[in-house]
Structures are given as C-alpha cells and as structure tokens.
Structure 1
Amino acid sequence: MAQRETWATRTGFILAAVGSAVGLGNIWRFPFVTGEGGGAAFLLVYLLFVALIGFPAILAEFVVGRRTDRNPVGALKAYGGGAWKYVGGIFIATGFIILSYYSVIGGWFIRYAIEGFRGDYASHIAAYEGDPEIMFGALSTGLDAFILHTVFMAITVGIVALGIRQGIELAVKVMVPAIILLLVGLAIWAFTLPESGGGYEYYLSPDFSVIAANWAELLPAAAGQAFFTLSLGMGVMITYASYLGEDRNLTRDGITIIGFDTGIAFLTGLVVFPIMWAGALTEPGSGGPGEIFVAMTQAFADVSGGQFLGLIFFATVAIAAISSAISLLEVVTSYAIDEIGIERWKAAIGMGGVIYLLGVPVTYDLIFLDLLDYFADAILLVFGALMLTILVGWIAPQAAVDELEKGIGNLGTLGQVWIWALRIPIVIVLIISLYLGVVEYVDFLTGDFAGWLDENL
C-alpha cells in the first residue's frame, strides 16, 4: 500500500475541518432551522448541544480516526472489531446522501450569484410575477439546476482528485478566510440598516416559553443541526483525523474547530435576520430549505446596494458549499482508496459520479430534497454518532483515553469525565433525539411524501 497522505500543516487541518463545518450547514441550513425553532429559543438549545454534546463527540471521532489511520469503515473495524465495519458503512452512506443534495443546493447559490451579476434582484423578481417564491421555484429545479449541479460536482471532484495537500489543503486555505471576512463585512453592513432591530431581538432574546412548549421539536432539530454543522456522524472528522500525526493536541484542535464553527453560525444569524427585518420579512422559518433564497433575494431587492451585496452574499455561500462538499467527497474517496485499492483520481471521479446521479432527482422536484435531508439529518447522523459514542465510551474507552493523551500528557480524571460524558448523558440525549427524529421522518413519509406519490404516480 502507498504511504498514506498527511496534512502539511496544523493550519491546513484546522481550516479543512472548519471548512467542512461552516459550509451549507451553517449558512444555508442554520437560518431556516433557527427560524423554524423560534429564533433565539432554538439558538440557545443549539449552543448547549454544541458545548455539551458536540465537543465530546468530535473528540471521539478524532481519536478513532487518528488511532487507526483509516477511513470510517476501516477505522471502526480496526478500533472495535469486524462487526463495527457496518457502522462505518453508515458513516459512508450518510456522507454519500448528504453530498448528493448538497451539490444541487450549491448550484442554487451559484445561480443566485450569477443573477446578482446580471442585474438587480428587484428586476429579477419582477420577471417572476413579482414573487421571490415563484422565482425560487423556477430556478431550483429544471435544466438550469441540473447543469449547475453538474458544474458544482465537477469542481468538487477536481479538488479532491488532487489530493490532501495539493487539493483540499490549498483550497481551504483560500476559501475559509474568504468566507469569514465576507461574512464579517456583511454583518457590519446589516447593522447599519434601518428597521433591522427586530431581527436582532428575534435572534438574540430567547423566549423560554417557546422552549417549554416545543421541546419535542427543538431537541432533535438542535441535535441534528449541531451534528450537521460540526460534520459529525458522517465520517468527515474520522477521515480528516486519520491524516494527523500523533503529536497533535486533539483537545485543542477540537476547541478551535468548534469555536470557529459556532462563531460563524452565530455570525450568519447576525447577517440573515437583520437583513430580513430590514426588508420587512418577519416570518422566518416558514420557507423551509428555500427560505434563505426567497427571503434574502427579496431583502436585497429592497435595500440600497442590494445587487452588489447580494452577489457577495450568494458567492460567499457558494464558496462555503464547496468547502463542505470536498470534505464529504473525501470520506467516500478515502473509503475507495483504503478498502478497494483504487487510485485517488479514479476514486474521486467514480464516487463523485455516483453521488451526482443520486442528486439528479432533486433537480426535478424538491420533495426528493426533503426525502434525503430528513433521513440523513434526523436519523443517520444521530444514529452514527450514537454508535460511535457507544464504541468509544463503553466498548474501548481506555484506548480512546490513551489516544487522546498523545500530544497532551496524562489527563487524569479529565479523561474519565470525558468517557462518562460519552457513556451516559450523551447516549441518553442521542437516543431520545433519534427516537423523535424517526417519528418525524415517518410522519413525513406517510404525509407529504405519500401525498406526492398519489399525485404523481
């Protein structure tokens, strides 16, 4: 077997992990699930999940990846035994499914950036009966969506095919700082807008009665979003950690990555919600996956300088989408390299091609986006995280502590605190979240999806 690739620098690893975490999960998904969850009420629960669940879980993925130097299937097989390879297969399947529709959504952001380049958003909306929802419906499916899905996946495949140092690491060193700088600039601009105060209040002033009344919906949504934005449960952190040296402080890296990820998610809210309120759009959460396109397009049509700023916003998210997509494709590419023995460029093209085909139905009807997203987010992500937590916390805890201590030194009681956090509170929360997620997905299958089948078959 050829020598396994490694990161050239610590910065490369950090930026790659952050790039995976801050992509569409933070900028596309975070605003609409925050809106669905009641704004600040959801934000509070989400932050608690990140701190209390996300941090111990990301360390679990790190130790398994670095200890085994393998992709998720090989890593779990080597760490826990032969049967655990099937759990690793779930990680591969999760990344496979998520990237299939991520690519379509990434294409949407490219299209909306192009629209900003072509003219002001008010004139574009006017061409669709003056309704941004009709505009989104027209642009999100059909031939144009199919073509941009193709373009987005081709870019992703090209970067991953170049390898860890020459492809992924070089790309994220440019993309991630650009994303952060552009979001900071947009947040400063949003602060200057008149009538934006309501957006800050909605986003930053939690109503605890909303949490008490809607905890059954908030819990799985916050858990899924926390794992989604941290790229947990999909094998990314296992794979990226497998390229690390043993002298790295995994705890410090985990804190850094989570800090950047959470900060960028929070920053995204400081961009989106004030702009929505400034554009007189005060019903967040009602638009689902298309909300950020509908709401932000209308807002950019109504504010001064909206064409240029809309172009910058949508281009920023397109860049972030690529940073996430390359991490997901790297998971399945690493599997093909390690377990099947395929050359990197062939693995990237082959796996990317199959993933691309899975995403094609989303360009036909958005019901397939819901079908894939709900399943990956509410079930597969949480189930994968639950099984990994059980493996590290209950099956082989000492090996995990030994691995975590490399690059740090003796953790003493802190190592046991981490293990017991994985064993009891995190397992309980994940089981509850998984149960609620399954119930929600079954409701979708028997409701919206069954209705679509009746109308179309």
Structure 2
Amino acid sequence: MLDNNVPQPWQGQTTLVFALAACSIGLGNVLRMPYLLGEHGGAPFFLSYVVTVFTVAVPLLTAEVMLGSKGRASPLGALRWASDQSGRSTHWSLLGVIQCLLGVMLAIYCLPMIAWMVDRAVVLNSGLLASASATEVATNFKQLVDIPNVTILVALVGLVTLLAALGPQVAMALIGWIALPAMAVALFSLLQYGIEFGDLESAGDWLFGVNYSNFGWEAAMMGMLSGVLTLVAGLGVGSVFGARSPKNLPLLRAVIAAALLDVAFMLATAVALLSLLGATNVLPAEGLAFVFVAVPYAFANLPLGEVYGAVFFGFAALATFAALLALLEPSVMLLHQEGGMNRNLAALIVGASLGLGVFGLEHLGQQIGFLPLLLDVTIVGILLLLSIFVAWRMPRPFARAELYREPRWLFIVWWLCLRFVVPTVLVLVLIWQLLAPR
C-alpha cells in the first residue's frame, strides 16, 4: 500500500539534512572514532574513513532516500514498488523487512546506553564523583551495569513509543529542529571548555598525527567499516525519511550535507573529549570504557567538570535518543502500511518489542557477545545487496527521474560509485569481518 497522501512536514531540504545528520551522530561516532583515530595511525586512518563516507556511505544512503521518495512507502513497500517498476522479482523487497528488523535490534543496544548517559549526567552534576579515582569511576559504572535503572529504561521505552505513535512528521521535526540544534549548542560549549581547561596539543597529536606504523591492512579495513556504518544506511531510516520528503528535492546534495555535518560533529566531539583526557593524563580507550569511565573521570577531576560533564552526557543521550527514534520508524511504518494496523497499535507493538529485547539482553549477558559482530556483518551484507539492486538491476533512468535536480556530472559520479566502488569496498570489508581473528 503506497502512502501518497501524507501531509508534508517541511517545504525544503533542511529538515531532511538535519534529521539524517542527527540520526548519524548518535550511532558510534562518540563510542568508536576518538579511540580508533589515534590507535590506527591518526591522519591516514581519518583519510580512509572520510573517503569511505563520501564514496560508499553517501551513495548508499542516497539510494535508500531515493527509493523512499519514489515509492512513498515503508522500506518493504518502496523496494517492492521499485522491483515491480523495474521488471525484477519482488523478492528484492525482503531486504526492506530485514532492514526494519536490524533497526529494532540496533535500537535494543542503544536504549541501555541512553539510560547510562542520563545516569552519568545526574551523578556528575550531583558531585558524587568529584575528584574520584579512575577505579572509583569504573566501580560506580559497573554497579550501574549490574543493577540497571529500570525506571529510566521504562520511561525511555514509553517516551519513544509515544513519539513513534505521533507519526514521522513529529519525529523528524523533533530530531531535525530540536535535537540537532541542542546538540550543536552543547558541543560548542564543550569545545570552549576543552580550549580553556584541556590539552589541545595532545588531542591534535592523537587525532591527526601521522603514524604509518599503526596503519596497516586491519586499520584500513576498520576505517572503511567505520565509514560504511556512520550514516545509518541499511537500516531503513533513509527510506522512511525519503518517503516523507517533498518532491523535487536535490536528495544527493542533501545526503552530502548530512555527511559533512556528521563528520564535523565527530571531529569536534573528539577534539573536545581528547583534550580533556590529555589534561588529566588519561589514555583513550575504546567503546564503553571511553565514554563511561575515561570521560567521567576527566570531568570529575577538572574545574567545573560537574557542569560540563552533565552537558556532555545530556548531549550524548539526546543524540542517541534521536537515533533510537529513527531506527524504530521503519518497523512502525511497516506494520502500519503493510500490516494495515492503526499507527498507535503499531507503535505500541514496536515499543513493547524494544522493551522486551532490552530486558532480555540484561538476562542473557555474556551469552550474546557475538551479536554486535553479527549485526555489523548483516548490515554490510544488506548494503551490498541494496547496491546491487539499485545499480545493476534497476534501470538507470528510474534513479535519474528521482535525482533529476542533481547536476549530470554529480549523478554520474554517484552512479559509478554505487556500481563499482561500493560493491568492491563492501566485499573487502565483509571478507575481513568474517576472516579476521577475534
């Protein structure tokens, strides 16, 4: 069922740019990139990341947005319509179902982190960690992980369910016009704080120093994987946002602008945080240890750290919540359009699935340690199939008809990247993921 009579929530491309950028910022840039940049060679790693963002992630996300804009439906409906119009098997539309499931699975991982970020903001602001040692900060966080704050988790599930029920127009307006500006203000404050109290020289050496001895095959693959995953491509978000965009937008340029914002936010966040770690003689760590141990320790041992620590974790929680809301929308749209459900009921089912999934993960614990790798491999595989469908199975005039506002040279570059560069990079990354020792 196509959704051709949806009220349009904006009149230009700004909301699409802001919404896509805000969703991207919340997925991995804070947790992974500051550590990876320094650990894997600095500038060479950053170059591999940026090149992958603009030659792989941007073409893929543009393809998703284009399909959504053309089909005006859920990821399943948009792919089914495109398959039918292209004279291809409608089995390609099953990619849309997998995208929706992947979005919910990733949201299940995001939700506990939002609860932890909210808790860290409250704890830092209260002064409970003032002048705490690294061991005390780590112990405090371990207690939080071992005994989750059920109240915050339930409140977050209820809030995201309510916002999902209100419809994508409300979600996109909140993400694009409230979440992103609030994140920008918070990040600007953190940068000022880092300049005043941090060690910018150590941050620059870590992020942009040229260390070719640490940049090998594995580092290049890690940079490519980070670039592939940074723009929420492969999770159906681009399709549902494209379905709600006005006609005649320059979609490719909108995605490029969102990617530029994403990279700028990542760099600004990395500079702000690493300057604070440098001032407190803390080496960056990867993942949860970086965000929930090293960063709180730095804030707890710097002047006014309780205030700016609360600002940072509020910013991080807002960014991740924006991503969470976007990740659930494809599934809600799928149940609403393809399943014929009332939107409120569809949102309730997806919200309940999110809650059950989060509490299920709490009980399974270490038994699901393989799931992050499985998610990454599945996302890369879905992106590979999506690029094959759009670039090799769908007629080029079909795509050009939706991207006609782009300059011809830019469209050709996009098409060639999607046809040749994207599959090559994704196959290399997929092989590396499957064969690399763990």
TM-score (norm 1): 0.87
Aligned-partner SS, 2:30: helix
Indicate conservation of the 8 Å contact 1:58/1:237, yes or no. Answer: yes
**C-alpha distance in structure 1 between counterparts of 2:246 and 2:272, whole Å:** 37
**C-alpha distance in structure 2 between counterparts of 1:341 and 1:224, whole Å:** 37
Structure 1: 5+ residue stretches without partners: 445-457
Query: Following TM superposition, by how much is the alpha carbon of 1:5 offset from its aligned partner in structure 2, in angstroms?
Result: 4.5
Aligned to 1:224: 225
Query: Following TM superposition, by how much is the alpha carbon of 1:152 offset from its aligned partner in structure 2, in angstroms?
Result: 2.0
Query: Following TM superposition, by how much is the alpha carbon of 1:196 offset from its aligned partner in structure 2, in angstroms?
Result: 4.0
Aligned-partner SS, 1:340: coil
Query: Following TM superposition, by how much is the alpha carbon of 1:423 offset from its aligned partner in structure 2, in angstroms?
Result: 1.5
Structure 2: 5+ residue stretches without partners: 84-88
Within-5 A mapping of 1:285-324: 285=285, 287-324=286-323
Question: Which sits farther off after the overlay, 54-63 or 413-422?
Answer: 413-422
**C-alpha distance in structure 1 between counterparts of 2:322 and 2:259, whole Å:** 16
Indicate conservation of the 8 Å contact 2:171/2:325, yes or no. Answer: no
Q: In the superposition, relative to structure 1, how do residues 209 and 116 fare at CA in structure 2: closer, same or farther (>3 Å)?
A: same
Aligned to 1:164: 168
Aligned pairs, how many? 430
Within-5 A mapping of 1:325-344: 325-344=324-343
Alignment-mate amino acid for residue 168 of structure 1: M
Aligned to 1:61: 64
Query: Following TM superposition, by how much is the alpha carbon of 1:148 offset from its aligned partner in structure 2, in angstroms?
Result: 2.5
Q: In the superposition, relative to structure 1, how do residues 172 and 354 fare at CA in structure 2: closer, same or farther (>3 Å)?
A: same
Query: Following TM superposition, by how much is the alpha carbon of 1:193 offset from its aligned partner in structure 2, in angstroms?
Result: 2.5
Query: Following TM superposition, by how much is the alpha carbon of 1:69 offset from its aligned partner in structure 2, in angstroms?
Result: 1.0
Q: Does 1:114 align with 2:122?
A: yes
- Choose which of 375, 383, 386 in structure 2 pairs with 1:385: 383
Query: Following TM superposition, by how much is the alpha carbon of 1:307 offset from its aligned partner in structure 2, in angstroms?
Result: 0.7
Q: Does 1:13 align with 2:16?
A: yes
**C-alpha distance in structure 1 between counterparts of 2:22 and 2:199, whole Å:** 32
**C-alpha distance in structure 1 between counterparts of 2:261 and 2:40, whole Å:** 23
Query: Following TM superposition, by how much is the alpha carbon of 1:438 offset from its aligned partner in structure 2, in angstroms?
Result: 2.5
Aligned to 2:86: none
Within-5 A mapping of 1:33-432: 33-34=36-37, 37-80=40-83, 81-122=89-130, 125=132, 130-144=135-149, 146-193=150-197, 195-211=199-215, 213=216, 215-219=217-221, 221-282=222-283, 284-285=284-285, 287-364=286-363, 367=366, 370-377=369-376, 379-408=377-406, 411-412=407-408, 414-432=410-428
**C-alpha distance in structure 1 between counterparts of 2:403 and 2:185, whole Å:** 35
RMSD value, Cα = 2.3
Question: Which sits farther off after the overlay, 104-113 or 193-202?
Answer: 193-202
Question: Which sits farther off after the overlay, 223-232 or 47-56?
Answer: 223-232
TM-score (norm 2): 0.91
Query: Following TM superposition, by how much is the alpha carbon of 1:120 offset from its aligned partner in structure 2, in angstroms?
Result: 4.5
Q: In the TM superposition, what whole-angstrom CA distance separates every residue of 1:41-63 from its partner, at most 9, and x where no partner exists?
A: 43222111112212222221121
**C-alpha distance in structure 2 between counterparts of 1:190 and 1:155, whole Å:** 33
Q: In the superposition, relative to structure 1, how do residues 217 and 237 fare at CA in structure 2: closer, same or farther (>3 Å)?
A: same
Alignment-mate amino acid for residue 95 of structure 1: G
Q: In the superposition, relative to structure 1, how do residues 413 and 24 fare at CA in structure 2: closer, same or farther (>3 Å)?
A: closer
Indicate conservation of the 8 Å contact 1:72/1:89, yes or no. Answer: yes
Alignment-mate amino acid for residue 356 of structure 1: G
Question: Which sits farther off after the overlay, 330-339 or 132-141?
Answer: 132-141
Aligned to 1:439: 435
Query: Following TM superposition, by how much is the alpha carbon of 1:344 offset from its aligned partner in structure 2, in angstroms?
Result: 1.6
Alignment-mate amino acid for residue 345 of structure 2: K
**C-alpha distance in structure 1 between counterparts of 2:411 and 2:345, whole Å:** 41
Q: In the superposition, relative to structure 1, how do residues 147 and 388 fare at CA in structure 2: closer, same or farther (>3 Å)?
A: same
Alignment-mate amino acid for residue 396 of structure 2: Q
